Structure 1
Amino acid sequence: MAVSLPGMGPGMEYRHLGRSGLAVSRLGLGTMTWGVDTDTDEAAQILAAFCDAGGTLVDTAAVYGDGKAEAILGELLGGTVPREDVVLATKAGISHRNGHNLLDTSRRALLDSLDASLTRLGTDHVDLWQVHVYSSATPAAEVMSALEQAVASGRARYVGVSNYGGWQLAQAATLQQNSAIGAQIVSDQVEYSLLNRNVESEVLPAAHALGVGVLAWSPLGRGVLTGKYRTGTPVDSRAASSRFGGFVEGYLNPTARAVVDAVATAASGLGCSPLEVALSWVRDHAGVTAAIVGARTRNQLQASLNAEGVTLPAEIRAALDDVSDPRRAAGAGVEQ
């Protein structure tokens, strides 16, 4: 549901996160590359441009750049943009050690991570604190108790989860639905794009039934849906990066290529860019509260902001739904 917020920038639509009272911009800013491929000066330009356009939701995580992303964001809040103009979201549960990701969602690890995040961010609270990943190694009730403590102590205003499947989300939301202090699960941040529609089978229906908002990360199919890889791998792209190459590689296959070609055809007919088509498709899908874009440069961010003026005609949406239908690829025995 679209809402209007006084004093916010023109052209940006805002939506409530699930059934909560928290309104966020329907385009979120991701910071995964900050401190890695995006330095502080570039990050300042990106953040300023995002907020000037009316964006509010800024998402980070303790593991991004091994804490560098949070540190850069903390340096910019209050200086480049006022802290109160940002809906600040971060995540805990993954750390990076000896070249490997370590999952730890114990109460101890989560709360220690939150304290470290607040120090790096230079604030006494975040607006949305999310469990970054589901782990069967920790009982769900223990994970939820950490969220309860974060809200009770004032360190988090709202809580959510990330990368939770349908039943995992249902379990967490059910455990928290009667929270006496208002620590209900308000969001699930999941990957969702025309190249990855896995969440449609269980996560989106569960979120709708439970009143949980969905935040879509990588709505551009890890950059592949922009069309930049149609003729090769640009040297300055994520696919060419030693750190992010594997992150993109899985979407450089014949099935993805057919979807990218369809997006490019639609963009040509509409007089806009493939990025705008792909981003609009996710952003306006029923159940999605916001699409989070991880722009590495200000120019990349501006390309995403341009999508605010694009609404896909119903027939274009239907055609893209059809060509990207996972059942089509599965039925043909094509690698996904």
Structure 2
Amino acid sequence: MGASGLQVSALGLGTMTWGRDTDAVDAGECLRTFVEAGGTLVDTAAAYADGDAERILGALLSDEVARDDVVLCTKAGVRQGPGGTRRDASRGGLLAELDASLARLGTDHVDLFLVACPDPVTPLEETVSALRLAVTSGRTRYVGLANYPAWSAARAATLLEAADGIGLAALQLEYSLLERGVEREVVPAAQSLGPGLLAWSPLGRGVLTGKYRRAVPAGSRAASDHLSGFVAPYLDDDGATAVVEAVATAADGLGRAPLDVALAWLLARPTLASAVVGARTPAQLRGTLGATDLELPAEVHAALDDVSAPALGYPERW
């Protein structure tokens, strides 16, 4: 994980659907399959299914998979209240959520604790102080940020390092062939300051699997009431369509599945520590686990680079 001593598997297991679209039985099979295949990083959050994802995971770590066999990552900073969902990266909010997560997970510490998103109200210095206290109190071994822009991630890393050398271990952001915005400034910041990158939605919210090339399959995320809006931005975009077709063409030529090609491209990117796959079913998970053995030919990698290249301008390119 970047310049830290934390070791994680190339693929991480996401739990966003647990407790809502994935029941406890399927979640258990996913976790066992993942660990048996050599996976270690399991990613969850206090907000997933209002805490039910953590409850299911905690029960599995108690009964079926040893806690020491996984690198446990959770996130806080999105709170539900009378006025709906709000961002809260205050010291009190983060530490209260972390304590509640530990109780649901049935453990006295997580391996990695992330702030889920920027809070426009709380000063960054206060957020960083909560991360520092989470480490020094033993609640977590490492800390990081999710969905933060490069300038604030760099500032947080500097504040942590200056205080007591704790360091910022990880930055988690959406990153795939359909979303390469992190390459403008976050990737250079990570290369300079040391955090490793965790990619969420490495398959472009499922679109890079090719399942939506002809229609929206029943039972898919795009067909669900609560996730259709999540997938929609990549379904009606000409640029995304061109990338999906390029991935499918490469997959045909290599005799592999499109998701293998998409993940192989991503896993070769600089500073990437792990790609977190949010498989909804055990079958979907098994379909992704073989991607780590694929190394794309240089010409294929270059062609995918070209078709998916993010727009760069001032001041990134000067």
TM-score, length of structure 2 as denominator length? 0.96
Matched letter for residue 308 of structure 1: T
Q: 2:234 aligns with which of 214, 226, 251?
A: 251
What SS does the aligned partner of 1:101 have? strand
Q: Deviations over 1:247-276 (max 9, x none)?
A: 000111222111100000000000000000
> 1:157, 1:285 → 2: CA distance?
26
Structure 1, residues 27-52: CA drift from partner, whole Å, max 9, x if none? 10100000010000000000000000
8 Å contact 2:203–2:262 — kept in the other structure?
Answer: yes
CA distance in structure 2 between the partners assigned to 1:291 and 1:299 by the alignment: 18
Match status 1:221 vs 2:204: yes
CA contact (8 A) 2:10 2:292 kept: no
Question: 1:262 is paired with a residue of what secondary structure?
Answer: helix
Distance in 1 between the 2:132 and 2:310 partners? 37
- 1:131–1:161 Cα contact (<8 Å) kept: yes
Picking from 85, 90, 100, the partner of 1:101 is 85
Which shows bigger deviation, 141-150 or 98-107?
98-107
Deviation at 1:179, TM superposition (A): 3.5
Give the corresponding residue for 1:195.
178
In structure 2, the partner of 1:25 is 9
Deviation at 1:99, TM superposition (A): 9.0
What is the distance in 2 between the residues matched to 1:98 and 1:302? 40
Q: Which residue of 2 aligns with 1:211?
A: 194
Q: Deviations over 1:174-215 (max 9, x none)?
A: 1111332x5311100000000000000000000000011000
Distance 2:272 2:153 in 1: 15
Gaps of 5+ in 1: 1-16, 332-336
1:293-304 correspondence runs (5 A):
293-304=277-288
Distance 2:304 2:296 in 1: 10
Structure 1 residue runs of 4 or more that deviate by more than 2 Å after TM superposition: 95-101
* d(CA) in 1 for partners of 2:305, 2:82: 41
**Alignment partners' CA distance in 2, 1:99 and 1:291:** 34
| Corresponding letter in the other structure for 1:130 | L
Match of 1:221, SS? coil
SS in 1 for 2:20: coil
Q: 2:65 aligns with which of 81, 84, 102?
A: 81
CA RMSD of superposed structures (Å): 1.4
Q: CA deviation at 1:135?
A: 1.5
Paired letter, 1:206: A
Alignment of 1:295-334 (within 5 A): 295-327=279-311
Given that 1:283 and 1:290 are in contact with CA atoms closer than 8 Å, whether structure 2 keeps it comes out as: yes
Q: Match for residue 7 of structure 1?
A: none
Q: Is the counterpart of residue 127 in structure 1 residue 114 in structure 2?
A: no
1:10 is matched with which residue? none
Instruction: Report SS of the residue matched to 2:148.
Output: coil
CA distance in 2, matches of 1:93, 1:239: 27
Q: What is the CA deviation profile of residues 208-233 of structure 1, one whole-angstrom value per residue up to 9, with x for unaligned ones?
A: 00011000010000000000000111
Q: If the length of structure 1 is used for normalisation, what is the TM-score?
A: 0.91
Runs of 5+ unmatched residues, structure 2? 314-318
Alpha-carbon distance in structure 2 between the residues aligned to 1:241 and 1:100: 22
Q: What is the CA–CA distance in structure 2 between the aligned matches of 1:179 and 1:277, rounded to whole Å? A: 42
- Corresponding residue to 1:48 among 32, 42, 65: 32
Deviations 1:58-84 (A, max 9, x none): 000000111010000000003221000
- Bigger drift between 227-236 and 93-102 goes to 93-102
Determine the structure 2 residue equivalent to 1:4: none
Q: What secondary structure, in the 3-state scheme, does the structure 1 residue paired with 2:169 have?
A: strand
**What is the rounded CA distance, in whole Å, between the counterparts of 1:214 and 1:222 in structure 2?**
18
Relative distance call for 1:297 and 1:110 in structure 2 (3 A) is same
Answer yes or no: is the 8 Å Cα contact 1:147–1:183 preserved in 2.
Answer: no
Report what 2:49 is aligned to.
Answer: 65
Corresponding letter in the other structure for 2:234: Y
